[in-house]
Amino acid sequence: MERFDDIPEQALDWHRAGRGAVLATVVETWGSAPRRTGSQLAISGTGEMAGSVSGGCVEGAVVLEALEALEAGAPRMLEYGVSDGDAFAVGLACGGTIRVLVQPVGTAIPVEMLEALVEARAARRPVGLISDPSGQMVEVTSEGHDERFRKDRSGLDEEGRFIAVQTPPLRLLVIGAVHIAQALVPMARMTGFAATVIDPRDSFATAARFPDTTLVNDWPDEVIADQPMDLRTALVLLTHDPKLDDPALIAGLRSDAFYIGALGSTRTHAKRLERMREAGFSDADLGRIHGPVGLDIGAANPAEIAVSILAEMVQSLRQSG
């Protein structure tokens, strides 16, 4: 399955393998552009792609420009809109306009800066990639852009430099290897979340039930202590069992996790809140818990419940603040 959140890593791998690599980044949008500012596409020297700058509308044209930029060793700025003949020919009929900065790795993007980006992502540190008006990347920094990091918002600054915000990859921790988790995990992976399923019950957390998924057969509180939750982490509790859910919930409430959801009826959730109050949490703390979990869409089966949970996760991520 294609991943959408390892684009810098893929570009670095291609460059190190001697195949050449280019990063194309959406720097401005107008109207109903299909991808947000900061969206990226990596292109190898042989035309392979990872990521997207337009949801498929202009990728073919961008790849051709990227290969030419790689050969020339210089950045270039592209613009596509519904009135642009070349763009219309490749399908940008949504009515929007996008500008795309194309930067070959090794020239417009110094290799050490791409390596610094990949290192920061591995350490889950947000970074800003600063390119001057000519398209040359000049700095990779974790300082001075807190508001952009909080909102995950790339854009131009007052000096005309483009700041591409790279926040840590999205992460999902699921407590309980149950049937809802079997539907939620692949859906979340397609949305860009790296999912880990935690359940000490060996008969539940199996590779047969969760292919291509990180599984941890251990008690949640012990696992979470080794991977604290940050602003790019969602926590979903699905077991109904306080022995499993509550320690993870306590850790989540003490963390910066952007989403905490807990499965259960209204009555079950009321009992859960009472236990958390007894553990010392305030009403403001408890207000962070989405319970019963998921948007109210009338979900009736595990897959539909998973859709409602994922939708609520994305809503919390994109509409908070």
Of 58-67, 148-157, 203-212, least confident by mean pLDDT is 148-157
More confident call, 39 vs 85: 39
Say yes or no to pLDDT of 151 above 80. Answer: no
- Report the chain's C-alpha Rg in angstroms: 22
Please compute the mean of the pLDDT values over residues 11-23 and round it to a whole number.
Answer: 97
Please give the pLDDT value at position 311. 97
Q: Percentage of residues in the chain with pLDDT exceeding 70?
A: 92
pLDDT value at residue 57: 75
Backbone angles phi, psi at 30, to 5 degrees: -135, 145
Measured CA to CA, the distance from residue 22 to residue 12 in angstroms comes to 9
Task: Report angle CA 209, 203, 191 to the nearest 5 degrees.
Answer: 30
Residue 154 burial by CB count (10 A; 0-12/13-18/19+): exposed, middle or buried?
A: buried
CB distance 151 to 116 below 8 Å? no
Give the model's confidence band at 2: pLDDT under 50 very low, under 70 low, under 90 confident, else very high.
very low
This prediction's pTM: 0.73
Q: Which CATH number fits domain 171-319: 3.40.50.10860, 3.40.50.720, 2.60.40.1180, 3.30.2130.30?
A: 3.40.50.720
Domains of the chain, by residue range, sit at 7-166, 171-319
* Confidence at residue 181, expressed as pLDDT on a 0 to 100 scale: 97
Q: Which residues contact 33 (CB under 8 A, 6 or more apart)?
A: 26, 54, 94, 96, 97, 98
Per-residue pLDDT at 58:
86
- Mean residue pLDDT of the chain comes to 90
For residue 72, what pLDDT band results from cuts at 50, 70 and 90? very high
Mean pLDDT to the nearest integer, 16-42: 89
- Stronger pLDDT, 289 or 225, i.e. the higher one: 289
Using 50, 70 and 90 to split pLDDT, how confident is the model at 80? confident
